Amino acid sequence: MSDNPVYTSKCSLKNFWQEYRIYADRLEFSTLFGMIVVPLSHVERVEVSESDVKGLLKGDLKLKNFRAALKLDWANFVEHVVIDKSKGYIRRMLFTPDDPTAFKQALDGALALFRNRG
């Protein structure tokens, strides 16, 4: 595993002062419950999603492609990142990096490099 993160999300109130990092071969979520590691080989899909509350007010119940999810922070209330995984007990994770769009772009780049190497 590589030791230098490609991207590190700054800690803030909206992510409960947790740190989310992208490496060349994995994601690391330093949470209040301990470290969660997701190998990039398990990542199926990444998207930025608006607040669930905002969507609900517009009538979007987000039932299409529903999967139970692990929410690491205030993801229901602010724009956040959604990751779908191919393996593990929890197949969907929602979390709020400091800049969801920049996090997704960095992760897309890391995934492209990882898949080209593999």
DSSP letters spanning 8-60: EPPP-GGGTT-EEEE-SSEEEEEETTEEEEEEGGGEEEEEEE--HHHHHHTT-
Does 108 score more than 80 pLDDT? yes
Q: Which fold has domain 7-117?
A: PH-domain like (2.30.29)
pLDDT of residue 26: 97
**Span 16-43, pLDDT tens digits:** 999 999 999 999 999 988 999 999 999 9
Does 65 score more than 90 pLDDT? no
Mean pLDDT computed over 6-16: 94
Q: Binning pLDDT at 50, 70 and 90, where does residue 68 land?
A: confident
Does 60 score more than 70 pLDDT? no
CA distance 89 to 101: 26
Q: Binning pLDDT at 50, 70 and 90, where does residue 56 land?
A: low
